[in-house]
Structure 1
């Protein structure tokens, strides 16, 4: 054998050894630093929803209906309600569904008397199911013109958040 043929083997073996060390180092670092622990589960896909907001004399009813997509366990949902306008800029959250506990807010925009998931199984929000609640006119008045000293509001935004993935799966904005 001549000298030129023998030089190929050390070069190839060196490249292979470096590749093995790099792969081993990457594997160990993923295990050591726990990079896989921070991965969120993907959010369910709620393909289509319909929303309606009915401002009225005593009740300002919000209804969001699941039309198509995956069912979501109610305990994995949080509803964020934002009212804004010339006299109001506030937010409330409905948590711990399906019991509808509220994170108390000073403006009290969610009515405490009418909140539910209209469904055959209130523990799941799936196709054909409706989440509904009322906006307190004393917290945000969407009627034209607002009555008395009620704060004038002109835009209502409802976000439905999948809490394990922290993803907004539904966003509805109403401007009555």
Structure 2
């Protein structure tokens, strides 16, 4: 190798090294900026007070709810959640509310209220002729109470959702509803087509989880756990007109 060639080699090596460093710096910088774009500030913590799951404190005013006969029993299970601290729950930002339960015997189930914004006025009901109709969402904040009502058919033999036809389960109903202290949170004017899956409706002693999911039903926003208990006393009759969007 000539003296001239030996003098050029270090220069070429230095140029290559600088180029590699610049490429790596650009790659790392791009990754950091991309990661920063994906990063979101943690949300303010949410806190809940007393939460109760009461089985059968109410029954539908429809006269077929107890078509199996016998004593007056409630066919509406009710969940009440006191929200004590945290950001406002915006109904339009909640994809669904999931209620899941399981007993010591390993049996249980789940019920999902999907956001009514996924429906349209002409969305068909699952078991009945007709549409879901008008629907609405709301919001609730700290200091308010959320009430979830879920209708089952344990004592219903008549109608399109009689237990002999569809099995003992939670069913679509005008009385299915999620309401805040001062108005609806998830509501439809027609029968709310809830998504039920499981062995049976809730029973006393079941461990119950209530979860709020984001828009895609993937990220849990909040979760509460409690134990189901049976209502004491005679159930109150509830008129379905109480649950209109107006």
Structure 1: segments with no counterpart, 5+ residues: 1-5, 107-115, 117-121, 144-152
TM-score (norm 1): 0.56
Query: Does the Cα contact within 8 Å between 1:41 and 1:164 map onto a contact in 2?
Result: no
Within-5 A mapping of 1:27-176:
39=38, 44-59=43-58, 60-77=77-94, 78-85=96-103, 86=105, 88-96=107-115, 123-136=138-151, 138=154, 139=169, 140-143=201-204, 154-163=206-215, 166-176=218-228
Shift of residue 91 of structure 1? 1.3
Name the count of aligned residue pairs.
Answer: 143
Query: Does the Cα contact within 8 Å between 1:156 and 1:173 map onto a contact in 2?
Result: yes
Query: Does the Cα contact within 8 Å between 2:57 and 2:78 map onto a contact in 1?
Result: no
1:22 matched residue in structure 2: 24
TM-score (norm 2): 0.43
3-state SS of 2:16 partner: helix
Structure 2: segments with no counterpart, 5+ residues: 1-7, 59-76, 128-135, 155-168, 170-200, 229-246
Q: Alignment RMSD, CA only? A: 4.5
